[in-house]
Amino acid sequence: MKIGVLAKQVGITVETIRYYESEGLLHPALRDPANNYRRYDHSHLERLIFIRRCRTLAMTHNEIKILLQARVEPDASCETINELIDEHIHHVQARMAELQILETQLIELRSQCRAAHTTRDCGILRELDHPIEESSEAQPEHSHVPGSQCRIERH
Amino acid sequence: MKIGVLAKQVGITVETIRYYESEGLLHPALRDPANNYRRYDHSHLERLIFIRRCRTLAMTHNEIKILLQARVEPDASCETINELIDEHIHHVQARMAELQILETQLIELRSQCRAAHTTRDCGILRELDHPIEESSEAQPEHSHVPGSQCRIERH
DNA sequence: TCTTGACCCTAAAGCAGCTTCAGGGTGTTT
DNA sequence: AAACACCCTGAAGCTGCTTTAGGGTCAAGA
C-alpha cells in the first residue's frame, strides 16, 4: 500500500510516517521503481500500530526503540521491558504530583482577585511580584526551583 | 549591577536572562559604554522575579507578556488576568486528567507481565501490539487519538 | 608586566516530536 | 490539456531554554 493509505489506517499523517522512518523507528519502505513512491506491507502496519500505542502511553522514541528491539528477540529476558514500564509509571506519577502542587498554587493565586476591577488593585499581580518561598525542606544553597527534567510532556 | 549578579539574585543563569531579553520579556539593559556589558537596576530584578514566578507556575511566555503588560496599566480592568489564570488552571487540570488515564493504562499494561521470563511470552509486548480501543464515546470519523495540544509541558 | 581565572559578549546549534512550508514530480479524471 | 489528489525532498518552525564555539574585559597574584 502507499503511504497515504497506511497513514489513514493508523490514523496519523504521512509526514509522521516519513519522520518515523528518518528517526529509525520504522524500517525504510521499499520504493516503487517507476515513481519512487514508498510501498508498505502488513508488517509496517503492525509496527506502526505498536509505535503509536507506545506514543499514546507517552513513551519516548528511545524507549520505543528498546521495546521494538525486544519484540524481535523472542528468547531474550523481558526484565528490561518490565523495568522500562515501571520507570515510566514513576515518571507519570511524578509529573502528576508536580501538577497537583501547581494546581494548588494557581487556585491560591486565583483567590487573591475576586472583587477588584483594576489591575492596580489586583491581588494576583501583587502576589506574582514576590519570589516563591518554599514552604519547608528548602534547599540551603540557593533557591533554584529545579526544572524537573520531566519527559512526560505531551499526550 | 552586572548580569552575573542579577542571575545569582534571581537564581537563574545569565544565558536565561539574555534569552528573556531576546524574547522581549525583559527590557534590553543599558550597556556600559566602556565594554558593552549589560547594566541592570532594581526594576529589572523585580521584573525577572515576576517572570520566574510565572514560569514556576508553568505559564508560557505569551501569557507572561500579557501579565507584564497588565502590570504597567494600573487603570485597566483585571478581567483579562482572571480569565488567563482560570484558563491556565483548566489546562493543568486537563493535563492531570490525561496523566491519570495514562497511569491507569500503564499499570494495566504492567500487570500483563508478572511471571514470564522471555519476551516471547511477555504480555506487555503482546498488548502493545494492538491498537487502542476507546472504551466509550468514540469519535465516529476515524480513531485519531487526538494529541491534545497541551501546553503544560514542564515544571 | 605578564598571566591566570572569572566574567562578559554574540551567533548558532541542540533538545523532542512532530508540523509546516517551499518547490517540484506523478497519476487519474474531465 | 487542465485540474486535482497524491507523492517526493529538504529545511524551518514550534517551546524554553541549554550548550558550544570563538572571542573580548578586568582584577589580582607571581
Q: Pick left, alpha or beta for residue A64 (phi over 0 → left; psi -120 to 50 → alpha; otherwise beta).
A: alpha
Taking the C-alpha atoms of residue B48 and residue B66, their distance in angstroms, rounded to an integer, is: 15
Residues facing residue B39 across a β-bridge: B30
What's the pLDDT band for B123 if we cut at 50, 70, 90? confident
Q: What is the mean pLDDT of residues B27-46?
A: 96
Centre a 10 Å sphere on the Cβ of residue A8 and count the other Cβ atoms it contains. Answer: 13
Q: Which residues of A74-109 are buried (b: 16+ CB within 10 A; e: fewer)?
A: eebebeebbebbeebbebbbebbebbeebbebbeeb
B71 contacts on A by Cβ (under 8 Å): 119, 125
**Are B40 and B3 contacting, i.e. CB atoms less than 8 angstroms apart?**
yes
Q: What is the mean pLDDT of residues B50-67?
A: 94
Res A126 pLDDT > 70: yes
Residue ranges covered by each domain of chain A: 3-71, 78-155
What's the pLDDT band for B60 if we cut at 50, 70, 90? very high
Residues facing residue B30 across a β-bridge: B39
Domain B3-71 fold: Multidrug-efflux Transporter Regulator; Chain: A; Domain 2 (1.10.1660)
Contacts of A60 (CB under 8 A, 6+ apart): A151
pLDDT digits (tens, 9 = 90+) for A18-70: 999 999 999 999 999 999 999 999 999 999 999 999 999 999 999 999 999 99
Nucleotides of D under 7 A from a protein CB: 6-9, 15-20, 24-26
Residue B5: alpha-carbon gap to chain centroid: 26
What's the pLDDT band for A146 if we cut at 50, 70, 90? very low
B92 contacts on A by Cβ (under 8 Å): 99, 102-103, 106
φ, ψ for residue B9 (rounded to 5)?
-60, -40
Q: Which residues of A121-150 are buried (b: 16+ CB within 10 A; e: fewer)?
A: ebbbbebbeebeeeeeeeeeeeeebeeeee
Burial of B68 (0-12, 13-18, 19+ CB in 10 A): buried
**Are B31 and B40 contacting, i.e. CB atoms less than 8 angstroms apart?**
no
Nearest partner of B48 among B93, B11, B87, B86, judged by Cα? B11
User: In Å, how far are A21, B122, B126, B129 from B117, measured between CA atoms?
Assistant: 31, 7, 14, 18
Point out the least confidently predicted range of A103-117, A128-142, B108-122: A128-142
What's the pLDDT band for B21 if we cut at 50, 70, 90? very high
Res B37 pLDDT > 90: yes
Smallest Cβ distance to A81: which of B105, B122, B152? B122
Task: Give residue A129's pLDDT.
Answer: 84
Contacts of B93 (CB under 8 A, 6+ apart): A103
What's the pLDDT band for A143 if we cut at 50, 70, 90? very low
Cell readout for B61 is: 511566555
Cell readout for B39 is: 547594566
Nucleotide nearest to A8 (CA to C1'): D6
Taking the C-alpha atoms of residue A131 and residue B140, their distance in angstroms, rounded to an integer, is: 49
For an interface test with A, the pick among B71, B92, B126 (most A C-beta atoms closer than 10 Å) comes out as B92
The owner of cell 547594566 is B39
Percent above pLDDT 70 for chain A: 84
Nearest partner of B106 among B143, B132, B142, B138, judged by Cα? B132
Taking the C-alpha atoms of residue A83 and residue A77, their distance in angstroms, rounded to an integer, is: 11
Task: Determine the distance between A22 (CA) and D11 (C1') in angstroms.
Answer: 14
Residue whose CA lies closest to nucleotide C27 C1': A35
pTM for the model? 0.83
Establish how many alpha carbons lie within 13 A of residue A55's alpha carbon, considering only the half-sphere containing its beta carbon: 19
Burial of B82 (0-12, 13-18, 19+ CB in 10 A): middle
